Structure 1
Amino acid sequence: MRRRREAWRAAHPTAATVLSVTVTVLAAVLVVGALLLPNTVVGLRPVKFARIPAEAIIGAAVMLALPRRPRIALAAVSGVALGAVTVLNFLDMGFKQYLGRTFNPILDWTLLSDAQSYLNDSLGRTVTLAATIGVVLLVLLLFLLLALSTVRLGNLLARNTGAATRGTLIAGVAWITCSSLGLQISGVPIASDRTASALKIEARNVADTLRDEAEFQKVAKVDAFGDTPGSQLVPDLRGKDMIFTFIESYGRSAIEDPIEAPGVDATLDARTKALAKAGFHAKSGWLTSATYGGSSWLGHSTTMSGLWISNQQRYRTVMASDHMSLTDAFKKTGAFDTVGVMPGVQKGWPEQKWYGLDKVYNAFRLGYKGPKFSWSTMPDQYALQQYQERVHSKKPTAGKSRMSLLILTSSHQPWAPIPKMVGWDQLGDGSVFKGIEAAGNKSADVIADTTKSRQEYGKSVQYSVTALTEWLERYGDDDTVLVFLGDHQPIARVSGNHASRDVPVAIVAKDPKVLDKIADWNWTDGLRPAHDAPVWKMSSFRDRFLTAYGSTPHPKKG
């Protein structure tokens, strides 16, 4: 093979030279590009790649000082390490676009399987499998190419020691000069240490994550109501039909974004009037969610625990603890049966114990025979009707009331296709939705279009709010108390790169005493919170709610 290569070079010297130079240039472009690659989509500007990377200068100096074997070994390892940094940069881009934060190399690997499941539900198994294989191959190819590129560049330096030494010194002086003078191009510093800084940040994040885990374990053991007897928990809600409902991705953007808000606001106002006509009244405010764009379970657990559950490690810690959830508080009274309706749960759900739910209806226990709507296993209207038939219409255990936890899914991305409301008496086993699903938008078309994503997101929220409030109007009674809220804002591509993490929350009831208890919260009348309505951290809701409805604090200290 080597002889053939040498023979070809001898026979085609010009072509061999051109090919060699081209490969070397491509290797340099690949390495320098990887060193300068930003970790945000908005940062992908040409000017970011017109800088001088300090790491390349230092690397060249080290390569020049090493003998052949150590040089090749170090170059290969450096290429692989640069490949790892590049992969992390791309992961950061994706996480910022969807979850509004960077990738955590300690905690977030498990979320990649969730992303794969989401793609499978949205785009189909074949596309997902092809995409997964493609990504794996691209990552492996990136590692290989960067390793080969750094080795090639190292060998080039060794073959041209004099010129390489002078070039390295010139580049070093240029870097120091640009750094000292703060020289910039279009606001971007010419002297770059992007990769070194990224590694420092990652190291600090790892250390912070490990420290946070230890500190949070102590925090989770402290509970203002942890030792409160059941007889002193929510005494003012005894006898009530208590329902807590999360609406997927229902964020402030739905109410205030110029594209999404007109339809959503009109729906909220119309449903406020319809509920008032049926005797229900509402108050609403804002909560700042612990998550953004996804990981809904972090929002659910933050609301119910009174703790700031902002990552998967914190979530696991709380689920393994005896820290009381808001739903478990109702169970501890002994005066409520507790039930969950979780159409998004498609596997074992051990969290049921921590939530204090006597019974849970997952996606497979609701009898749905219709089509999936992308990720959502069934339309919210169907899930609510099944809740009515299987739970709400049944009498609780003698002498008890009922507390329910519902998690609705129709407003989950990619917001295509979106269900439509049908007659409540026509729902049957869900087959009525086959035509609606078939006539709806295709997920791939909406995912690829930001404006359309925003429009369809707004429509999905309108659908979920309408389904929930129509159910309340149709089946609620004098003792029904509904608390509903969003778990997080939609993805950054829909809500904007600088959107808040606020979500709407509302309490709806017929009994005026229920809303009188929260009069000092200064929430807005109706389902649509005012722009300047109070904003609380989501983690503060549990204790405020328990206090408002007569619970007596008995702190439990770790």
Structure 2
Amino acid sequence: MPSTLSTLRLQEFLRLPAEAVMVAVVLLSLPRRARLVVSAVLGALLGALTVLNMLDMGYNDYLGRRFNIVLDWGLLADAQSYLKDSLGGTVTLALTVGVVVVVILLLVLMALALVRLGNLLDRHRARATRATLLVGTAWITCTALGLEVGGVPVAAEHTAGVVKFQVETVRQTLHDEAAFRKEAGQDTFGNTPADQLVPDLRGKDMIFTFIESYGRSAIEDPIMAPGVDRTLADSTAALAKAGFHAKSGWLTSATYGGSSWLGHSTTLSGLWVDNQQRYRTVMSSDHLSLTKAFKKTGAWDTVGVMPGVQKAWPEQKYYGLDKVYNAFQMGYQGPKFSWSTMPDQYALEAFQRLEHSQQRDKPLMSEIILTSSHQPWAPIPKMVDWDTIGDGSVFEGIEKAGNNPADIIADSTRSREEYGKSVQYSVTALTQWLERYGTDDTVLVFLGDHQPIARVSGNHASRDVPISIVAKDPKVLDRIADWNWTDGLRPAHNAPVWKMNLFRDRFLTAYGSTPHPSGS
């Protein structure tokens, strides 16, 4: 079996596997009892590798990478939660039971099948030996001549390749843990005194906002781009009318299709956090996050708005947030929109009501995660009059009239169309909030955390996401003039592209922070 859905074709199965020849040689050389044991073990192993291939297909399609057998088991629980939110508990339970049954059947039936084949080889030992020699010779010949069927080599050693890849992945994963822990212990701004951190932003209300799945594809894909580009152009004009101006560029995300927290932590830590092990290392470290730098100064109050968080969130400490509002702490009484617990417009209005509008002795630094553009992009909220939002009940009719998630998940074209609409909604909600509530001292930094899944962005899409800085004070944007970012909310195709982990240091430097390394 191939490791991607796009290569799941008939010709992949019209091949001579070298592993089968080697297994036949081994089984023919063993006595009966040993043969039965070896057959059962190899059969079960083949079943496990089949399951692994299926996981690879799913992970490649959704996350743009293969399954990591050391780190990725925990994500299966997240996948189950996503299905429950998108398709309902009954369907998710049925799918979960079905998956478990299929896995057990694969392991058991593969083992029984190989035991049976081993017995057949033994019963017809002479003919089996000749056939094995003949197939082995054919495999060597096909390899030497490079014979192909439909562009696929006839001679295969895919299973051995899968095993080799996973063994190497395990080795690299274990080695990476120690190397990355050392890297996280070094920080360009780790010992910077409080009064030397972001001095050029003192007095500003800072807002760092991540828009779920807001990727380059939303701006440049021919199906999605027209609507999104129109929204960005209209929003740029509306903000300019309100006195705000923007500059935009591209960041290459550390994740793809999901695992948003890896994108958030990469942006804010200045470290390349592309797996769960690295994430845990960073969260338990003293490496200075960009948001914590504002707290360290003592010149800002800090708050997080996290509508996607529905359980304990110890990361609050790492990000230096005095207070965090999760999905249950913003007073929302309306319907969920599939995975998203509330519309972005409500989350922003709640932020305004609970924090941004409050009188305080210090400016406010906020981290906000907007979730309405999270897959499966159905149903999608619609904008309502800001004065009618209330407790969110106004969204009930919109949710009921929306698309069924199951209809969108199964249709690639509709997924792309609805994804584009969801990005338009999130950008509109954020920019309208800024028009309505932003002040002369408001500075907004907003970006995507990753590209949408391959079914939407394409099998060969980049990992780039847009990022914009918006402010009324011209001095704020003057500080990043040498970045050569594009004016407005839509980055040009040839605007600079940085790795996402580079943003923290460049932002701190641009706004006057003085490097004082730690851990070197």
TM-score (normalised: structure 1): 0.93
Tell me the equivalent position of 1:281: 245
Cα distance in 1 between the residues matched to 2:367 and 2:38: 56
In the TM superposition, what is the alpha-carbon distance from 1:185 to its structure 2 partner?
Answer: 1.7
Q: Distance in 1 between matches of 2:497 and 2:112?
A: 54
Counterpart position of 2:203: 239
Q: What is the CA distance between 1:496 and its match in structure 2?
A: 0.3
Give % identity.
73
Kindly provide the CA deviation profile for residues 108-153 of structure 1, in whole angstroms up to 9, marking residues without a partner as x: 0000000000000000000000100000001001111100100000
Question: Aligned residue for 1:228?
Answer: 192
Aligned equivalent of 1:205, options 166, 169, 188: 169
Q: Counterpart in 2 of 1:219?
A: 183
CA shift at 1:186, angstroms?
Answer: 2.3
> Per-residue CA shift, 1:210-263, capped at 9, x if unaligned?
111110000000000000001000000000010000000000000000000000
**Which position in structure 2 is the counterpart of 1:13?**
none
**Residues of 2 paired with 1:323 and 1:406: CA distance?**
21
Q: For 1:329, which of 272, 293, 299 is the aligned residue?
A: 293
Offset at residue 395 of structure 1 (A): 2.0
1:429 and 2:376 matched: no
The residue identity in structure 2 corresponding to 1:282 is A
Once the two structures are superposed, what CA deviation does each residue of 1:475-531 show, in whole Å capped at 9, x if it has no partner?
000000000000000001000000000000000000000000000000000000000
Segment drifting more, 64-73 vs 370-379? 64-73
Moved beyond 3 Å, runs of 4+? none
Equivalent runs, 1:50-129 vs 2, <5 Å: 50-129=14-93
Give the C-alpha shift of residue 46 in structure 1. 1.1
- Give 3-state SS (helix, strand or coil) of 1:149's partner: helix
Q: What is the CA–CA distance in structure 2 between the aligned matches of 1:169 and 1:536, rounded to whole Å?
A: 55
> C-alpha separation between the residues in 2 aligned to 1:173 and 1:412?
53
Q: Following the alignment from structure 1 to structure 2, what is the Cα–Cα distance between the partners of residues 417 and 197? A: 42
User: How many residue pairs end up in the alignment?
Assistant: 520
Residues in 2 aligned to 1:526 and 1:42: alpha-carbon distance in whole angstroms: 37
Aligned to 1:44: 8
SS at match of 1:484: strand
Give 3-state SS (helix, strand or coil) of 2:341's partner. coil
Alignment-mate amino acid for residue 84 of structure 2: N
For 1:551, the equivalent position in structure 2 comes to 513
SS of equivalent to 1:134: helix
Give the equivalent residue in structure 2 for 1:359. 323
1:458 aligns with 2:420: yes
Determine the structure 1 residue equivalent to 2:496. 534
Alignment of 1:5-404 (within 5 A): 37-396=1-360, 398=361, 400-404=362-366
Correspondence for 1:440: 402
| CA–CA separation in structure 1 for the residues paired with 2:75 and 2:233 | 37
What is the TM-score with the length of structure 2 in the denominator?
1.00
1:373 maps to amino acid: F
SS of corresponding position for 1:283? strand
Q: Deviations over 1:446-498 (max 9, x none)?
A: 00110000000000000000000000000000000000000000001000000
Equivalent position of 2:437 in the other structure: 475
Letter in 2 for 1:355: Y
Which structure has the bigger radius of gyration? 1
Is 174-183 or 280-289 further displaced after alignment?
174-183
- Unpaired runs of 5+ residues, structure 1, are 1-36
2 CA distance for matches of 1:470 and 1:103? 40
For residues 363 and 258 of structure 1, the distance between their equivalents in structure 2, rounded to whole angstroms, comes to: 35
Aligned equivalents of 1:271, 1:376: Cα separation in 2 = 23
1: CA distance, partners of 2:82 / 2:6: 24
Tell me the amino acid that sits aligned with residue 69 of structure 1.
R
